[in-house]
Amino acid sequence: MYNKERAVALEAVRSAAVLCRAVQSEITPDVLTKKDRSPVTVADFGAQALICRALAREFRRDPVIGEEDAESLRQPSNEGLLARLVEHVGAVLPGSGEKEICEWIDHGGFGEYSDRFWTLDPIDGTKGFLRKEQYAISLSLIVNGEIVLGVLGCPNLPARMGDPDERGVAFVAQKGGGTVSVSLEGETRPVPVSVSTRVDPTTIRFCESVEKAHSSHDDAARIAKRLGIVADSVRLDSQAKYAVVARGEAEAYLRLPKDDVYREKIWDHAGGAIVVTEAGGRVTDITGAPLNFTGGRTLLNNRGVIVTNGLTHDAIIESIRALDIV
Active site positions, annotated: 44, 126
Beta bridge partners of 253: 207, 307
Q: Check residue 125 and give left, alpha or beta (phi > 0: left; psi -120 to 50: alpha).
A: left
Residue 59 CB coordination number (10 Å): 18
3-state class of 252 per DSSP? strand
Angle between helices 38-58 and 98-109 (to 10 degrees): 80
What sign for the dihedral angle of Cα 214, 217, 220, 224?
positive
Expressed in angstroms, the distance from the first to the final Cα of the chain is 40
Residue 165's CB is within 10 A of a number of other CB atoms, namely 7
Are 160 and 168 within 8 A, CB to CB?
no
Strands 163-174 and 146-160: antiparallel
CA 73/CA 202 separation, integer angstroms: 51
Strand runs (DSSP E) across the chain, as ranges? Answer: 64-66, 116-124, 136-143, 146-160, 163-174, 178-183, 191-193, 206-208, 234-235, 252-255, 282-284, 305-308
